[in-house]
Amino acid sequence: MAALALAGLAVWLQHAILPFSTPFWGLFDYQLDLDVYRGGAQTVWDGGSLYDAKLLGQMDYTYAPISVLVLMPFAFMSFEVARIVWSVGIFVALYLVIMLSFRSLGRSATWPLRCLAIALVAVALLLEPVRTNVWYGQINVFLLLLILADLLRGDDAKLKGVGVGIAGGIKLTPLIFVLYFAVLRRWRALAGVVAGFAATVVVGAVFLPRESWDYWTGKLFDSDRVGAPQTLGNQSLRGMIANLVHTDAPNTLAWAALVAIAMVLGMWAAVRAHQAGHELLAVSIVGMLSCAVSPMSWGHHWVWFVPILVICVDLVLRTDLGVARRALAGVGLTLLILIAFSWRTHFAYPMWFVNRTVPDAYFMGLFFKKGPVWAEWFLVFPYNVIFLGTCIATLAVLARTPRPEPAALS
């Protein structure tokens, strides 16, 4: 009953932030990216050039060729039907992500847990990365589910890593798990990632040879096709530099240095989490790391906050932990929600938004808020602060955890 009451409160709060019935800006009233996916699939079906076409008048298709084959069924639906199917799919995927996360933390799939998972779906929708996945009609929640379903299995699971490779074949950032497995020397899982990725490239080349050649030899390296670096929604380290310095050409050396620091810190924290048996935490840290080091990471890419949310809730509910640890987990949960919350910023004047003029605008995310100059560093890249805080907290908490003894050589 408490979980369902929490779900009702979250739905009410979602409506209070921005009413569902608000034209254009309501939660289910836009879904531009879904329409781009449909346009890309339709372009290929009609024999057009996928990466040269301007979809919906000005949008570029940015995913790998295999994604078109996956998304092709939506080209044969009307937009209204497609948006319903897609939105319901996101809700189902969120529920499965939350249940998978709880199961990996040792909890049984009881009905109270299922009710809590439903409530957390509603709570997760209050986070900007999740809300904008619904509003834009984005694919990231589905990729999150595919990766977690693959990696939360045991090390001896058949074809482990293949799901990550397939996700990487659709959207390249999951390929960072190759480095994670290499650091851990989990060669079987690494081979699975490579095999899954190679399979997507081969299938794409067989069915879409022209698009595959175009993408892998050129379009892949043009990160500006995704968006300009100096965009407030760009929550990557490159975007941080661009927005702080106010330039669309951020210093490459500075970006490379920050990426190197983030890679060392993120992999260190992920490896320690893995060694301590916290695989969900390890995988989530690597997922956030992929967003941080990518040239372009929109807010809706950071869906890795969902398993972090589950981890915090699990710690708060564990009666076998001391009051202090549960309180700290509660503080972390509160900070996560407050930082990633769908903070609304209303611009009460006409503006050009993506592909049309709108009479006013409702932008979501802390990064659209204005504050004192000394707080600009935080407001510009709040999601990287969550990544940094998670890594530091992980290393601090696990500092006293004994490292496992290395296996004896036979």
Identify which has the larger pLDDT, 265 or 356: 265
Q: What is the pTM of this model?
A: 0.94
Residue type, 202: V
In which element (H, E) is residue 346 found? strand 344-347
Average pLDDT of the chain to the nearest whole number: 92
Helix 111-124 crosses helix 79-104 at what angle (to 10 degrees)? 130
Bridge partners (DSSP) listed for residue 357: 352
Count Cβ atoms below 10 Å from residue 316 Cβ, excluding itself: 17
Identify which has the larger pLDDT, 404 or 220: 220
Per DSSP, the three-state class of 76 is: coil
Residues 28-76 pLDDT 10s: 999 999 999 999 999 999 999 999 888 887 888 989 999 999 999 999 9
pLDDT of residue 402: 57
Cβ contacts of 286 within 8 Å, gap of 6 or more: 176, 177, 180, 266, 267, 270
Residue type, 13: L
List the beta strands (DSSP E) in 164-307. Answer: none
Determine which of 19-28, 93-102, 318-327 has the lowest per-residue pLDDT on average.
318-327
Is the confidence at residue 81, as pLDDT, over 60?
yes
Report how far residue 54's alpha carbon sits from residue 260's, in angstroms, rounded to the nearest whole number. Answer: 35
pLDDT band for 401, please (50, 70, 90 cuts). Answer: low
Residues 149-193 pLDDT 10s: 999 998 888 899 999 999 999 999 999 999 999 999 999 999 999
Tokens standing for 345?
């910023």
Report how far residue 50's alpha carbon sits from residue 42's, in angstroms, rounded to the nearest whole number. Answer: 9
Q: What is the mean pLDDT of residues 342-371?
A: 91
